[in-house]
Chain A
Amino acid sequence: MESDNLGLLKNIKRVKVPDTLYQTIESRLEKNRENIIPLYKVGIAASFVIGLMLTQVYFLEGLSSKIDQSNNDFELVEINNNLLYYE
């Protein structure tokens, strides 16, 4: 019974591909090509970001050393009496 049924599959006809399909595939490939970002542009963007980060680190370092300096200055102030600060 089932072999008879599978025999039916031999009656399936081959179908021709629509003529316009190749153009559709070509335009998809073209679109894919446009969407790919060139490597040199990725490199420029990456070096820009890294440069920005390094500049930030440089300025932050400068700022923190200034703060450290002012803290040290504050600690050097000597008090020559027995009064508390808020008195």
Chain B
Amino acid sequence: MTFKDIYNQYKNLVFNLALQYCQNRHDAEEITQDVFVKVFDKWQTFRKEADLKTWIYRITINQSLDFLKHKKRKKRSFIISLFSSDSSNEENLLPDFDHPGTLMEQDESLKSLMQKIYRLPKNQKTVIILLKIEDLPQKEVAEIMKLTEGAVESLFQRAKASLKKLL
């Protein structure tokens, strides 16, 4: 399997998953680039007994979370430099929403829900994205997140409760 084959097979998966995390087309393109550069670099160390799709899911999730952490930190320090007294305002840390997959009738309610998901802790965010947007079975989510199915279920319940608080 060549690198181009891998790219062609997984490009949409990576791009759309990154898009669910960063909710912005431009950032998703950047994450997709980072993911495939990493896949290319780490290909020699990839243990072939693991599922390639699961491996690519993990790289994309980690890369997306790293990207968000870095972006939030940059945004936070910029806000601090502007208004030193208003540094804890989380609203300012929301993404520049430009999700091409939601640009339709229910845009506003979906946008608001997506922004709430964006504010969840990273594990809760991941479980909602994988179960509800990617529509993966619980078993596969458990494998990607290196958790048991029971842990995935309880994480999902916690995520729902956190979302309810935010709604």
Q: Which residues does A use to contact B, with CB under 8 Å?
A: 1-3, 5-6, 8-18, 21-22, 24-25, 28-29, 32
22 contacts between A and B (CB under 8 A): A2-B160, A2-B163, A5-B113, A6-B128, A6-B160, A8-B106, A8-B110, A9-B113, A9-B133, A12-B102, A12-B133, A15-B25, A17-B11, A17-B12, A17-B32, A18-B29, A22-B4, A22-B11, A25-B7, A28-B33, A29-B37, A32-B37
In the complex the two chains form, what is the Cα distance from A26 to B119 in whole Å?
A: 34
Known: A13-B102, A14-B16, A17-B15; 11 extra A-B contacts, CB below 8 A, are A5-B109, A5-B113, A6-B128, A10-B132, A12-B101, A13-B100, A13-B104, A14-B12, A21-B32, A22-B7, A32-B37
Residue B40 lies at the interface, judged by CB distance under 8 Å to chain A:
yes
A11/B104 contact (C-beta < 8 A), A2-B163, A17-B12 known: yes
The 8 Å CB contact of B36, one of A8, A11, A12, A25, is A25
Question: Which B positions have Cβ atoms within 8 angstroms of A?
Answer: 4, 7, 11-12, 15-16, 19-20, 25, 29, 32-33, 36-37, 40-41, 99-102, 104, 106, 109-110, 113, 128, 132-133, 135, 160, 163-164, 167
